[in-house]
């Protein structure tokens, strides 16, 4: 082996230089990186995060849109009252401005602008939007909904049970649901509310996972 002392000029790598990978799946070129066997939607409370948008409903829709493979404007364009005549949680939603909407919650006779909704009404309206979009999605990939404790703990006990029972009883769309709770008492209450579908629990460190059919 001989080392040369001849100076060599190195090309400067541009700051915007990108490294590209060629991905193959089952011997075929993949259009994108395979991420998961599911389309995953992660729902948490946007109210705890700094944001220049004051309307909490718009903040949640903006966070939801890219997880559905949509733009924020596409989600707002879909907020037509006729699409929510038979929503899972009974929310009737209608758009009244570029980024404004009114909601008539289940059991109510009146529409209220999203900024005036109670916490549970806001959450159920958000779930009704999510489930409506999933039903309209043409992709065959199944869906998984992850409900973070920051959103789930904003509901009282009755509404927690209402949310979980409705999601577990869905025939269409077919979704898997993962609900995060901070207290074992919440898990026990949810288990008691749907004991027939409870499969069992497993423990990993400080984490307990309860499984339902």
**Percent over 90 (pLDDT), the chain:** 26
As beta bridge partners, residue 42 has: 146
Provide the terminal-to-terminal Cα distance of the chain, rounded to the nearest Å: 67
What's the pLDDT score for residue 112? Answer: 93
Least confident of 49-58, 67-76, 181-190, 202-211: 202-211
**For the chain, what is the mean pLDDT?**
80
| Nearest residue to 139 (alpha-carbon basis) of 3, 7, 37, 30 | 37
Domain boundaries, the chain: 34-212
**Statement: 34-212 belongs to CATH 3.40.50:** yes
pLDDT tens digit sequence for 50-69: 778 888 899 999 999 999 98
160: pLDDT strictly greater than 50? yes
Residue 18's alpha-carbon distances to 11, 15, 21, 29, in angstroms, are 15, 9, 10, 20
pLDDT tens digit sequence for 162-181: 888 888 888 777 788 888 88
Torsion sign over Cα 42, 47, 51, 52: positive
Output phi, psi for 135, to 5 deg. -60, -30
pTM of the model: 0.76
CA distance 13 to 211: 51
């Amino acid at each position: 082996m001989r080392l040369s002392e001849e100076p060599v000029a190195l090309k400067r790598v541009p700051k915007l230089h990108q490294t590209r990978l060629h991905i193959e799946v089952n011997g075929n070129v993949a259009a994108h990186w395979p991420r998961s066997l599911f389309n995953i939607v992660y729902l948490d409370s946007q109210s705890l995060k700094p944001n220049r948008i004051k309307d909490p409903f718009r903040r949640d829709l903006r966070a939801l849109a890219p997880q559905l493979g949509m733009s924020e404007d596409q989600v707002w364009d879909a907020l037509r009252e006729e699409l929510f005549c038979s929503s899972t949680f009974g929310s009737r939603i209608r758009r009244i401005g570029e980024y404004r909407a009114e909601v008539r919650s289940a059991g109510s006779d009146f529409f209220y602008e999203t900024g005036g909704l109670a916490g549970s009404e806001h959450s159920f309206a958000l779930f009704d939007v999510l489930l409506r979009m999933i039903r309209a999605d043409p992709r065959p990939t199944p869906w998984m909904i992850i409900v973070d404790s920051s959103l789930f703990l904003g509901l009282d006990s009755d509404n927690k049970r209402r949310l979980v029972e409705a999601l577990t009883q869905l025939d269409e769309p077919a979704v898997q649901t993962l609900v995060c709770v901070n207290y074992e008492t919440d898990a026990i209450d949810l288990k008691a509310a749907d004991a027939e579908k409870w499969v069992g629990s497993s423990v990993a460190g400080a984490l307990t996972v309860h499984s339902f059919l």
